[in-house]
Structure 1
Amino acid sequence: MSFVFKLARDAIVSQITWPVETSNGKRLKETCMICFEDTDATQMFTVDGCFHRYCFSCMKQHVEVKLLNAMVASCPHEGCNTEVTIDSCGKFLDPKLVEIMSNRKKEASIAVSEKVYCAFPRCSALMSKSEVLQYTRTVMLVAEQSGARKCVKCHRFFCIYCKVPWHFDMTCIDYKRLNPHPAREDTMLNTLATKKRWRECIKCKHVIELAGGCYHITCRCGFEFCYTCGAEWRNKKPTCSCPIWDEPNIIHNRQRRQ
């Protein structure tokens, strides 16, 4: 009976719209199926694609919760997987949250090995390697050979190899020789990585922590390497002579799973 009642409620309540007399004349009211409050029809949000409707307040809370959990927001109607478009969220979300949603969607669409971030800390815009190269080619024909890239957001140049502002009149080797001391933030990260025994993937440069298990690491970019020395694994076999595992580490991993 409860299931039948739910179907009847979903079919009927979602279509309830009626005129209400106000000081400014008649206005349409509609019932939100989340909070069951009678809401002005102009304050109801329609999900593109499935046309389910909810009040702005409920949709705002729904989308914000998804953002906090690093998830893409979909229609809150039970069993409906229609994605809530970023453009439509501008009706009830703060512009900063809309930007976060846009960045999340873009980040999910770019392969790990293709991701590039602007080297300027106050920008740090996310781009794909092909996107930033194509953008740079509009102003620099030798962009691919030089390593210079122009950020699509702040429009400043940086080096895709050194991950620093573009060094116009010197090579990467010369720049590192003249600037041997890394930035304070990089120094802190390197110190923490050394202390925690983190390893950096030589292909995508992501930092990885081994919580337990063997020392054969498969990075999310697909590159396989030895966690002990960083040597590449080829055809599921190590190219180094480091131990593949040690008993305390395997036991620790099993205990965590239990």
Structure 2
Amino acid sequence: MIKAPCHQYCEDCFERLISTACENEQQWPPKCCLNKIPDETITHIIRGALLEKWRNRGWEWGLPINERIYCSEPACSIWCRPHNIDRDQSIVRCDAGHRTCIYCRGADHGRETCPQDRELARTHELAEEEGWKQCYGCNAYVEHHEACQHMTCRCGAEFCYVCGARWRTCHCTMEQLATVKAEADRRREHRRQL
């Protein structure tokens, strides 16, 4: 017999109690007469797949619901573990390998920006105001300080600061560069006056 906080259970009934709690978050954590069954009791008795399921549910349901991400693939829909999040790509992979956007919780957008990524949207707005340009190779923002419109990004990509095209594929001039920089200065000054 297995002693829980209020009652004793045979092994089959105890496993059924744990299994039921693992199927329904409303019944989590496993309880005996509304008293949580100690983790030590559970880990001492259950084994194999049920123990693994109990541990996974504890990790999953231990997170606030707004921090949980589930696979966007309808046929999958499993919980994506936080250690599978790739913040650089703004995605998480489920255990089956499907990719889900961490912002909108939909399917991965590929190289497109998620429309719900507010921080990235604010960065884009600031870049627009400041006149920064985005590298075609790695999407990093760069700021022009001096010299001509030829930019070499830290990733090695070379491009025109005026139009963003690959270097030597456009006909932009130093005058156009001066105009781009003057417009950025005007926007910056306007923002300071607000």
TM bin (shorter chain):
0.3 to 0.5
Per chain length, whose mean CA-contact separation is higher, i.e. which structure has more relative contact order (CA < 8 Å, sep 6+)? Answer: 2
Q: Normalising by structure 1, what TM-score?
A: 0.32
What TM-score, normalized to structure 2?
0.40
